[in-house]
Structures are given as structure tokens and as C-alpha cells.
Amino acid sequence: VTILECPPMYIVGVVGYVETPRGLRTLTTVFAEHLDEQFKRRMYKNWYHSKKKAFTRYVKKYTDQARKPIEKELARIEKYCQVVRVIAHTQVKKLDINLKKAHVMEIQVNGGTVKDKLEFAKGLFERTVPISGVFKQNEMIDVIGVTKGKGFEG
């Protein structure tokens, strides 16, 4: 029996993809207004020596003319995109590990029309998604472990 410690994931953005003959292409990305420090740390190589200015200009889009630039980008996703994914990050402060940078990933939103997917993703902005929202208790899942492969060394 393996026990995994899984703090809730935090949703910070949404990405829209357009299907092209050569595969998916990113059309646009919309981030939430308030971004956690753990997420911003991942955007820097060295947080200590940085000026910590990531996303400061982007946040101003939320105050400009009643969020007009943000709504425009969301309308573009709704009109042109076929695939919608949310940007989520882990909450490493809730774990007992010596790590301050959050792990960031994209999670695809499925079901319904693109408008439904976008409304669902917007509803999750700046919210946590607990593990109980994804899996049920006693549900069987497959877990893959990847190692560096050192042979018989251990």
C-alpha cells in the first residue's frame, strides 16, 4: 500500500490551442489576477537576486477599462480554439519538503463545447482543486515511476 500526500492544486491560468495540420498551436494564454509567490518563483532562475517583477504589468490588464483586454483574450479562445487547458501549480508550502518553487503543469479540460470548457476554467481561477474533486476514495489508479536508470546499482 502506497500513501501519497497530495495538497490541492491551485489554478492560475487558461491556455487555448488551435488545431493545425502540424498539431496543436497555442493561440493565447490568460493568467489570473492574483498569482501566488510559489508560482512566481518558478518563473525565475534566482528568486533572491531578482527584482520580483514577474506579472506586475500583466496585472494592470485587470484594472484597464473594466478588464477589457482580459475579456478580449477569453473571447478569442472561445471563438478560435478547439482545446482548452488550465495552468495549475502545486502548493509546496503545505508539504514537508525543502522546496519553495511550485511545480507547474497544464491540465486539459474536457466535456461540452469550448464555451462550457472556458466557463468551467474561469470558475476555477485562483481556486484550489482538491484530490477528492478528481478521484474517489478506494478508486484504482495507475501510477508510473520514472527513474534515472542506474542498473543494478540501487
Contact (CB, 8 A) for 91 and 12: no
pLDDT for position 151? 77
How many helices (H) does the chain have, and how many strands (E)? 4, 5
2 vs 123, more confident? 123
In angstroms, the CA 120 to CA 114 distance is: 10
pLDDT for position 45? 94
Contact (CB, 8 A) for 88 and 11: yes
Q: What is the mean pLDDT of residues 111-129?
A: 92
Contact (CB, 8 A) for 18 and 27: yes
Contact (CB, 8 A) for 142 and 17: no
> DSSP character for 35?
-
Whether the predicted pLDDT of 1 surpasses 70: no
